[in-house]
Amino acid sequence: MRRDPFVKTSEGETFESPGFKVEHVVDTVGAGDGFAVGTISALLEGKSLKEAAHRGAAIGALAIMVAGDNEGLPTRDKLESFMDNN
């Protein structure tokens, strides 16, 4: 069952960010860190919270397809390719 990331702001706004299909889960370690780094980096670039959560979901998805904490963190090119193709 696929679950899209749920976001709730301090003002009470809620939304679900579209998730990403993952072909094969290898290791879930690092998924939360990937989500955080994707979200924070997008916010620092001036993206909306919805765009930031979507990026976070993408990096979290990439993180669970490899073993280890940060081995799945993508380059910008790999991230953009993954997001464009899913």
Residue positions annotated with a catalytic role? 33
62's CB contacts (< 8 A; 6+ apart) are 34, 72, 73, 74, 78, 79, 82
d(CA 69, CA 85) in angstroms, rounded, equals: 24
